[in-house]
Amino acid sequence: MFAILFPGQGSQFRGMGADVFGHYPGITRFACDLLGYDLPARCRDNQDDVLSRTECTQPALFTVNALHAFERERREGRPADYYLGHSLGEYNALLAAGVFDFETGLRIVQKRGELMAAASGGGMTAVMNTPADRLLEVLGADGVEGVETAAHNTDTQVVIAGADGALRAAHASLRARGIRFAPLRVGAAFHSRAMESARTEFEVFLRQFTFAEPAVTVISNASARPYEGSMIPEMLCRQIVEPVRWAESVRYLLDRDASLEYEEIGGTSLVRMVKSIEKSSPRGTLTKSGV
């Protein structure tokens, strides 16, 4: 079996899309018109670090990921048996599976970015070499409150989210215990209860759209199981406030084919995660197939 992976927020960088914008001038102009700004210029210049602003990051990354996927199709790359996307990347997975078209996906992602940006405050931190249960136990013992698990990336990397004060307390606890951590470049506590107001508004927004059944299996971040057409709006809303179950999603595929091959669109961060998951998996070996 073969899986294609799509990266999410945090994988953006100045100059992204330069290799594909020119190949798809019509789609690029359409995206600029819909968003109301010159997307290639923003990606090229990143003036005032605009790509770090959630309301810009998400539609920009969705568009660049989509163009890379279109380019791969144009080259007649190997068809996927599964699509997986990390957080924002899940929308590219659903686009690739035919759940919605590019315009619908961009409109949805634009709204998602706006709502999540409006629920600003707090942040996220990656914690290394400490399982989630043990991490929460440690923080609780040190009196740290208001911190939630936001992503289970690998067995050796968990992401926590919370208000600024809660994260400062968590950092002090981790530092005192010699636990490695790295604050992430995000402006809010994504994938946590802090996003509840965004989830509520997003649920209402999604009611205007109709979604098709995935033509190729897409694994949901929220459930770590395949999407079903009737559940798409619910799962997209849950994804905003629940942890990204990435490690479990990968293991779901490993359980079905220990020799699964995979490819990441536009990056290598997910490839590194999958390799880490594979090392701790008792089942076979994942093999990388050209990035």
Residues serving a catalytic function are 87, 191
- 120, 198 Cβ separation under 8 angstroms: no
Half-sphere exposure of 279 (CA within 13 A, CB side): 9
| DSSP assignments along the chain, one per residue | -EEEEE--TT---TTTTTTTGGG-HHHHHHHHHHHTS-HHHHHHH-GGGGGGSHHHHHHHHHHHHHHHHHHHHHTTPPPPSEEEE-TTHHHHHHHHTTSS-HHHHHHHHHHHHHHHHHT-B-EEEEEES--HHHHHHHHHHTT--SEEEEEEEETTEEEEEE-HHHHHHHHHHHHHTT--EEE-S-SB--SSGGGHHHHHHHHHHHTT---PPPSSEEE-TTTSSB--GGGHHHHHHHHHHS-B-HHHHHHHHHTT-TT-EEEESS-SHHHHHHHHHHHT-SS---EE---
Alpha-carbon dihedral 205, 209, 214, 220, rounded to 10 degrees: 10
Q: How far apart are CA 51 and CA 62, in angstroms?
A: 12
Give which of 101, 123, 10, 4 is closest to 58, Cα–Cα: 10
